[in-house]
Amino acid sequence: MRRSLLRPEAGHPVLSMGKTPHDRQTLTPEAAVDRLEALYAGSCAALSRALDRYLATRKPPSPKDRAGFRYPLLRVVCRRIGAGGRTRRAFAKFQRPGVYATTVTHPRHFRRYLLEQLNPLVAENDAEISVEASSQEIPYPYVLERVEDIARSGVTASELAGHFPTPILSLVGDEVADGQWEVPEGEPRPLALFDAVRIDYSLRRLVHYTGSDWRNVQQWILLTNYHRYVDQFVRWGLDRLGEGGNSCERLVLPGGTEIGRGHAKADAEAAVAASPWHRFQMPAYHLTGRDNQGVTLINIGIGPSNAKNITDHLAVLRPNCWLMVGHCGGLRQSQQIGDYVLAHAYLRQDGILDSLVPPDVPIPALAEVQIALQDAAALVTGARGDTLKQRLRTGTVVTNDDRNWELRYTQERRRINLSRAIAVDMESGTVAANGYRLRVPYGTLLCVSDKPLHGEIKLPGAANAFYESAVAQHLEIGLKTLDLLRERLDTLHSRKLRSFDEPPFR
């Protein structure tokens, strides 16, 4: 246990989130989010003014000034759970009466999400909402990005840290998501999985790894491990922008370049060619839509460490779904290069999440996602019944942290046999386990690129022929799956992902 969720370590700011006075104003959900926006904007403006003054005059902020650099606090009091009884909804519900609270960052961006959670809590229960300033300071790097101004002034980061709030890693954690939180006597229970400092930490990491503003990340996410999928996604995105009758707005490339509707083909291709994607570890591409309902594709590269890293950070945006669409090694003689694997289970040999989600904890397949993947495969390939089963096989995927696991064949073959696994990769089990852990719906559709146990290894000539024929269709199935899930959103957020003692917010 690193810390109690609401009891910061000695010397760090304390959240004033205890008793709920009867004279505190009760707000409607709309008014509460308005108030969150106003308080957050005021805090950011005060922090910006104080930094400008310091760069110009070296006058540090006073304690009174620093009292204005705080995140807003959202508190919901449930005095009695509604008489309507149980709901099948997987979120926006209380497990018990009590006081719940969390700090909030970027409330304008998260407005739709906040209202989606608050409206049912108030409508279905005897719940009261209040908003106030917390005692949790906003670290200045999360608000200000004027690196050049600071550098020109001759001020060092260590000097600023002496006068302005900075990120404190001891206050950033996943205790709520991991079921390790403790509620001190008289303190509120957590309202959400992530508080403001945890969210802001991940938002800055997303910018660093993906090369684009976190605000461009859409609610529907595809993760892949090959750049060829990126090329196909960009072509698809440009085609969609050139069509009428859809809600696509723009294609955002790593580095921030945007291509909008009505683009000239030559200009768009030049912008894509000039994109500095190679500067970023996991470049992201976003075909944006209204209310962030478009699609984000991220090339996460190879390995479970990358898979955990990016999903740790994407989770704070509370996406509706992430899907892994990558390549795998087929483990059955009957499979052919280019066949698909729909993962129904995972043999996790990745090691990266063992302390948080032990390997003996089952990661359930989500029926809503599995059905959408299979339906999409049928629509895109035109195959049905036994014909589809010849191309699309369901079963267990082994996720291994060692790319050269084949060199331990005598050790691995027994475990593969016992698991009845049909494919092996390095990311899918991690992506699914972290989706399970962080309550983000997940799914996996892989394409067989080689058959290591049967002499069909990945050689350059055969690989190129496979890529040319398979990548476009595979990506199309992933995109069609997201279309189907949008239409079935009411059933997507499964109760399988909720524990018996969940925070009210999704």
Which pLDDT value is given to residue 466? 60
Count up the domains in the chain and report the number.
Answer: 2
Please indicate, yes or no, whether residues 493 and 447 belong to a single structural domain of this protein: yes
Segment holding 95, helix H or strand E: none
Q: Tell me what percent of the residues of the chain surpass a pLDDT of 90.
A: 75
Lowest mean pLDDT across 236-240, 286-290, 333-337, 369-373: 333-337
**Residue 506 falls within a domain, yes or no?**
no
The Cα 200–Cα 143 span in angstroms is 9
Please indicate, yes or no, whether residues 333 and 211 belong to a single structural domain of this protein: yes
The Cα 253–Cα 274 span in angstroms is 10
Residue with tokens 């989500």: 366
Q: Which long-range contacts (CB under 8 A, 24 or more apart) does 378-385 make?
A: 379/480, 380/473, 380/476, 380/477, 380/480, 381/473, 381/477
pLDDT above 80 for 127: yes
- pLDDT band at 296; cut points 50, 70, 90: very high
Q: What does pLDDT average to over the chain?
A: 90
Average pLDDT estimate for 186-210: 96
pLDDT above 60 for 10: no
Across 299-316, b (16+ Cβ under 10 Å) vs e yields bbbebbbbbbbbbbbbbb
Q: Specify which residues 400 forms β-bridges with.
A: 349
Q: Tell me what percent of the residues of the chain surpass a pLDDT of 70.
A: 91
pLDDT above 60 for 420: yes
Please indicate, yes or no, whether residues 394 and 305 belong to a single structural domain of this protein: yes
Taking only the tens place, the pLDDT of each residue in 438-469 is 999 999 999 998 887 766 666 555 556 666 66
Taking only the tens place, the pLDDT of each residue in 464-484 is 666 666 899 999 999 999 999
Largest CA distance in the chain: 76
146 φ/ψ angles, rounded to the nearest 5 degrees: -90, 65
265-274 vs 227-242: helix axis angle to the nearest 10? 150
Please indicate, yes or no, whether residues 322 and 363 belong to a single structural domain of this protein: yes
**Residue 18 falls within a domain, yes or no?**
no
The Cα 223–Cα 428 span in angstroms is 10
Please indicate, yes or no, whether residues 254 and 369 belong to a single structural domain of this protein: yes
CATH of the domain at 103: 3.30.1730.10
Please indicate, yes or no, whether residues 471 and 407 belong to a single structural domain of this protein: yes
pLDDT above 60 for 54: yes
Side chain identity at residue 344, one-letter code:
H
Taking only the tens place, the pLDDT of each residue in 485-499 is 999 998 899 889 999
Identify the three-state secondary structure at position 345.
strand
Taking only the tens place, the pLDDT of each residue in 375-414 is 999 999 999 999 999 999 999 999 999 988 888 888 888 9
